[in-house]
Chain A
Amino acid sequence: MSHHALQRALVVALHDPGFADAMRADPAAALAPFGLEPAEAAQLLAVDPRALAIDRLRGRRVLKAIAEELKGSLAIALAEARRLGFADDFFASPCFRAAVIEDRHLVLALADYLAAALASGELASPSLAGVLAIERAQAEVRRDADRDPPPGLSLAPGIRLVTCDAASLAALQAAERHLFELSLLPHIALCDDRPALELPAVEARSLHLVVRARGGEVALDEVPEPFFRSLGALAGAAARAPLHRAGVADALALVGLRVADTDRLVGDLVADGYLVEGPTGAVGA
């Protein structure tokens, strides 16, 4: 309904001064993604620009709420960028705007923003990709655990598979420890000799993690590579089309795995909560 579109445009205008300026300079272009009626656009354009800027901490409060789940990644990003403006610029990014327009979780939009900065070369910290992969997976499984599974076999709701360099967990812990130390005395921000974020060197070896939501908590389990590859192959096959037991051997063969008794493997994976079997999963067994 149209009032939702106007609400979304107002949310963006309240958080992104650049958008507020752009909609005055070229209303048709700036407001096009929101699909406003002409009268609605006129109401938004009639807002006193000073009223949009009254609450100068609005964005910081939003960041405080969502950064909690990406605190290691954001710490590493800001340690490299060395400017708070990088965090504030999230609100001017396509990631924020798309999340508001499409009603997506803001924490995942912030993860997209950090990933985009890595992809574009704006950030290049070697530790960031792995830490971001772990924290993003944790954020996703918290929101995924109650999802209804699709038909057939699939990765259980509340599970993500993450491959990262072997130092990523240590880097995440180092970032969390650093933030804890800073939180003991926020006055540290005023000092030129404040401690630097020290991160372990990236390792060539990979870490294979199953990130799983369990009873309100999120667990990270390191698993052997063949097991990880099996889960990944089955998850990939299930994402392409409903996966039935008869198709498991072929899905595993695609990643070079041969299993003598796939029924037993599937039974074990279902029993251990890695896979679920949706309504038509038994068909073709």
Chain B
Amino acid sequence: MDVTSLPRLGIGISAEFDSARRGIDALTLRGAAPGLIDFLEYGCDLARGLDDHARRWAAAGHPATYHFLDLNLTERDDADPAWLEATGALARELGAAWLCGDGGLWHFGPRDRGHETLLPPILTRDSALEMADAIQRVEQATGLACLPENPPAPIYLGDLHILDYFALVAGATGGGLLVDCAHLAIFQRMAGHPPLTALDGFPLDRVVELHVAGGSERDHAGFAWIDDDHQPEPLADTWLLFEHIAARAPNLKAVVYECERNPPATVIDNFRRIRAACPASA
């Protein structure tokens, strides 16, 4: 799908089913701090569907995107007709400009209720081409662009760098990508690479959406890893990646700060930093 035809959404906040009950209500924050957020990225699975928060946002006519949490993009046949039909209907009800989701496994075995076990893809050429097939199937069935997102993990298997993997995916689909800067920072750290490694060969013109989120450095029996816990403050590597890519991605349409579970006061300055770093096009 042609990325240049997608609408510019601006700066968004993430939400998941029921997250506004104890976290940030996007409508309330939008009213309290005008100009802070432009759109909502709502994540859920079909078993839960839209919550009251997402329905209120949609009813207000504000822009949105839909982040699925129940499709294995690494498996060609996981996008079955029932999932495609129901997801398309849910996205239309939300008024989503496009679909997105981590390109990995949300479940193992057949799709079932409440799994949400996110694992990254095996980073090989065959896997990337299979993911591209799955994305094209989703796009054809729903009529919406489907942006694959690089997932987080302490373990990645396969012979490709994750940026080379998603470059292959984009090359095969001809469509767009979602780069999660926090997840990419995790990959680089776990692989022992500097933060900007492999970006020189990455098709930044395919980047439609960026994610920014907080993470925590942790240690397990001497093994250092990063917990993608979405606490308010992004790691320095995440900021570096975000500011580097945002300045060089000509088709960037949207940036989501994944912070919905935090107190509003702890995230406002970061929203302003994100907006300041974005070109006028995003």
User: A residues bordering B, Cβ < 8 Å?
Assistant: 1-4, 6-8, 10-11, 14, 39-40, 43-44, 47-48, 50-54, 58, 61-62, 64-66, 68-69, 99-100, 103-107, 109, 143, 146
Contact = CB atoms under 8 A, between A and B. Distances in A.
A105 B115 contact: no
A4 B77 CA distance: 13
Contacts of B155: 10, 14, 47, 51-52
12 contacts: A3-B121, A3-B126, A3-B158, A47-B157, A48-B223, A51-B220, A62-B115, A65-B114, A65-B115, A68-B114, A99-B109, A109-B109
B273 interface: no
A182 to B, nearest CB: 20
Contacts of A43: 157-159
Given A7-B122, A11-B108, A146-B82, A50 B157 contact: no
A244 B83 CA distance: 35
B221 to A, nearest CB: 5
Contacts of A11: 108, 119
A31 to B, nearest CB: 13
Interface of B: 74-75, 82, 105, 108-110, 112-117, 119, 121-122, 124, 126-127, 130, 154-155, 157-159, 218, 220-223, 225
B169 to A, nearest CB: 13
B144 to A, nearest CB: 24
Q: Which 9 A-B pairs have the closest CB atoms?
A: A50-B223, A3-B122, A65-B114, A3-B127, A51-B154, A50-B221, A54-B220, A43-B157, A11-B108
B251 to A, nearest CB: 29
Contacts of B127: 1, 3
Nearest to B75: A4
Contact of A10 (B74, B126, B157): B157
A104 B155 CA distance: 24
A58 B155 CA distance: 14
B110 A10 contact: no
B112 A66 contact: yes
Contacts of B115: 62, 65
A171 B109 CA distance: 30
A103 B110 contact: yes
Chain B contact surface mostly: loop
A50 B224 CA distance: 10
B15 to A, nearest CB: 21
A8 B121 CA distance: 11
Nearest to A7: B122
Contact of A105 (B112, B114, B126, B223): B112
B126 A107 contact: no
A66 B221 CA distance: 30
Contact of A8 (B108, B117, B220, B223): B108
Most buried by B among A2, A47, A50: A50
Contacts of A1: 126-127, 130
A103 B157 contact: no
B108 to A, nearest CB: 5
B126 A54 contact: no
Contacts of B222: 50
A100 B245 CA distance: 38
A100 B109 contact: yes
A103 B109 contact: yes
A2 B126 contact: yes
Given A8-B108, A62-B115, A3 B124 contact: yes
Contacts of A44: 157
A39 B158 CA distance: 9
B82 A106 contact: no
B74 A7 contact: yes
Contacts of B122: 3-4, 6-7, 10
A105 B110 contact: yes
A104 B109 contact: yes
A1 B119 CA distance: 18
B78 to A, nearest CB: 10
B119 A10 contact: yes
Contacts of B158: 3, 6, 43
A90 to B, nearest CB: 14
B62 to A, nearest CB: 31
A12 B133 CA distance: 26
Contacts of A51: 154-155, 220, 223, 225
Contacts of B159: 39, 43
A58 B74 CA distance: 21
A202 to B, nearest CB: 31
A109 to B, nearest CB: 8
Contact of A106 (B105, B109, B130, B225): B109
B119 A7 contact: yes
Contacts of B154: 51, 54
A266 B105 CA distance: 45
Contacts of B220: 50-51, 53-54
Contacts of A62: 115, 117
